[in-house]
Amino acid sequence: MGLLVSNGDNDAAAPVAPRPVVAVVEDEPAAAELAAALCDGVGADAELYPSPLPFLRSVQERDAPSAMVLDWRLEQELSAALFMAIRHRFPELPVVYWTGVDPVNLPSMIRDDPLTRIVEKADGAEAFEQALRWALKETTDG
């Protein structure tokens, strides 16, 4: 182990930019944990929500996350309502729909939304990570 030599004020650590936060609304625990691991892999922190209501409560008290990951088949079929609430509250928030549903079966408000990417769960981790990178780039470039 080497010794570190102090140079006075030069030792001040450079500020580290905070990691982006991705809110993941997923009611399947294994899928939520996988999404969190994939978020970490692209340099983002994941906040996991098992249903829409905890997420909606959390955004009343803070700013928007950097991006969202939503599952289309949430319990009680609340995904469309959650999407509309997100678009109303955060019109510029990038959304990744990570779903087992064929994209042609999703409503046009989701398919045609320019700030939404749809990734089929069967497409694997690489497709999900690509969509996450797009969403996070949208928040830093847009």
Question: Would you state the pLDDT for residue 47?
Answer: 96
CB proximity list for 105: less than 8 A, separation 6 or greater: none
- Look up residue 6 and give its DSSP letter: P
Does residue 38 fall inside a structural domain? Answer: yes
Question: Would you state the pLDDT for residue 62?
Answer: 81
| 3-class secondary-structure state, position 21 | strand
CA distance 92 to 89: 9
CB proximity list for 91: less than 8 A, separation 6 or greater: none
CB proximity list for 126: less than 8 A, separation 6 or greater: none
Question: Would you state the pLDDT for residue 61?
Answer: 79
Q: Which helix (H) or strand (E) holds 126?
A: helix 125-141
Overall domain count for the chain: 1
What is the C-alpha end-to-end distance of the chain, expressed in Å? 44
Does residue 61 fall inside a structural domain? Answer: yes
**Which CATH number goes with the domain that contains 134?**
3.40.50.2300
Question: Would you state the pLDDT for residue 1?
Answer: 43
CA distance 31 to 109: 24
Question: Would you state the pLDDT for residue 7?
Answer: 52
Burial class (CB in 10 A: 0-12, 13-18, 19+), 66: buried
pLDDT tens track, the chain, 142 positions:
444 444 555 555 666 778 999 999 999 999 999 999 999 999 999 999 998 889 988 888 788 899 999 998 876 677 888 999 999 999 999 999 999 889 999 999 999 999 999 999 999 999 999 999 999 996 655 4
Query: Contact, 54 vs 42, CB < 8 A?
Result: no
Question: Would you state the pLDDT for residue 73?
Answer: 82
Does residue 13 fall inside a structural domain? Answer: no
What is the number of other CB atoms lying within 10 angstroms of the CB of residue 142? 8
Query: Contact, 21 vs 45, CB < 8 A?
Result: yes
Encoding tokens for residue 3?
């010794």
Does residue 11 fall inside a structural domain? Answer: no
Does residue 77 fall inside a structural domain? Answer: yes
Question: Would you state the pLDDT for residue 63?
Answer: 84
Does residue 51 fall inside a structural domain? Answer: yes
Does residue 12 fall inside a structural domain? Answer: no
Token pair 């182990």 is at which residue?
1
Does residue 14 fall inside a structural domain? Answer: no
Owning domain of residue 129: 19-141
